[in-house]
Amino acid sequence: MTAAVLEPVDGAGTRDRVLDLAQRYGVYAALVVLIAVATAMNSDFMSVSNWRVQLFQVAPTVLVALGMALVIGTEGVDLSVGATIALAASIIPLYIGYGPAPAIVLALLLGAAAGLVGGAMVAFAGVQPIVATLSLMIGLRGLAELMNGAAAKPVEDPSILDLGEHGIAGVPVMAWIALAATGAVAYTVRRTTFGRQLVAIGDNKRASLLAGLPVRRVLVTVYVLSGILAALAGVLIVGHGAEADPANQGLNMELSAITAVVVGGTPLSGGRVRVLGTVAGAMFMQLASAVLIQHNVPTSTTQIVEAVLICLAVYVSRERGTR
């Protein structure tokens, strides 16, 4: 009967406060500890060549995870990112004849289109994000393979290979791109109208609606951005591998992205986007598996460790109290 009058308030106990700190900064602490331990065990870990390898591997994941973080911030999820990578990959060989720039732009546009479809299903039709993006996940990869053929196609365009292989000042171009994207997304979330509205909508959709926020527009945009970032990651992957292989590229990328976002401290329930945390989360998962591999730990253990880490991260970021 009376809604807002009396709310049994849980006092924030010490345990809650510790968990809160763990959620915010845990991933950074874990990252630092991991690097320290890894270097202690193998001094080559901090070598430039090792770091280059790691950056090459993690950059695409960071891009996709950034988009995923935005989507999760609205209490949604985007399972189609892996398929979008495949789609972008398949487009490159088809249109490379017009030059690298048009091909890349087209790939990004396709990514945006994929996001537009998913976003429209969620925002306008009210389809659950998981199912809407699931349908895209299944369909787009098939579409990509149809366009490309089953076999991987080699890509030889120098500009695209540059993107995937070269470095500037010793750091891979991919990593610079990922860095720029991180900056852009962080700025968007913190300083733009769109970003603040996104966070508000994820936190309390009804209140945001009543406050006159353009909820549907924001939701669609978020999926479009995720699609573009995934497509960009696809282009980079193609450049790095010098081939377009929609059957295999981007496989399981959505899992890696979601893992990075969750480990990085962004809650699945929306309302909060930790951009730097997401990047740290991606780095942490990448380095963790690299360390395990370097020490000849079997992949099985790696996977189990990943699973445990995810559970830990989620446990820490669960909603506490009566909120």
By CB under 8 A, the residues from 14 to 73 that bind another protein are none
With CA atoms as reference, report the closest residue to 44 among 35, 56, 32, 33: 35
Nearer to another protein, 239 or 246 (CB): 246
Nearer to another protein, 136 or 283 (CB): 136
Q: Which of 17, 166, 191, 295 binds another protein (CB under 8 A)?
A: 191
Half-sphere exposure of 230 (CA within 13 A, CB side): 38
Residue type, 99: G
Stretch that binds another protein, among 3-11, 24-32, 176-184, 230-238 (CB under 8 A): 3-11
Would you state the structure tokens that stand for residue 255, as one six-digit string?
């899992």
Nearer to another protein, 47 or 128 (CB): 128
CB of 83 to another protein, least distance (A): 8
Stretch that binds another protein, among 56-64, 102-110, 219-227, 306-314 (CB under 8 A): 306-314
CB of 310 to another protein, least distance (A): 4
CB of 120 to another protein, least distance (A): 10
Q: Would you count residue 145 as binding another protein (CB under 8 A)?
A: yes
Report the first-to-last Cα separation within the chain, whole angstroms: 19
Residue with tokens 């994820």: 202
DSSP 8-48: -PPP--HHHHHHHHHHHHHHHHHHHHHHHHHHHH-GGGGSH
Nearer to another protein, 5 or 168 (CB): 5
What is the rounded CA–CA span in Å between residue 101 and residue 128? 35
Residues in contact with another protein, total (CB under 8 A)? Answer: 81
Nearer to another protein, 174 or 200 (CB): 200
Window 267 to 296, contacts with another protein (CB under 8 A)? 268-269, 271-272
Q: Which of 46, 101, 193, 295 binds another protein (CB under 8 A)?
A: 193
Question: Which pairs count as long-range contacts for 314-318, CB under 8 Å and 24+ apart, including other chains?
Answer: 314/262, 314/268, 316/19, 316/22, 316/23, 316/26, 317/23, 317/262, 317/265, 317/266, 317/267
Beta-carbon contacts of 228 under 8 Å, excluding residues fewer than 6 positions away, are: 67, 108, 111, 112, 115
CB of 247 to another protein, least distance (A): 8
Window 238 to 267, contacts with another protein (CB under 8 A)? 255, 258-259, 262
CB of 39 to another protein, least distance (A): 26
Neighbours of 202 (CB within 10 A): 26
Q: Which of 30, 107, 121, 185 binds another protein (CB under 8 A)?
A: 121
CB-CB contact of 71 with 185 (8 Å):
no
Stretch that binds another protein, among 35-43, 62-70, 222-230, 310-318 (CB under 8 A): 310-318
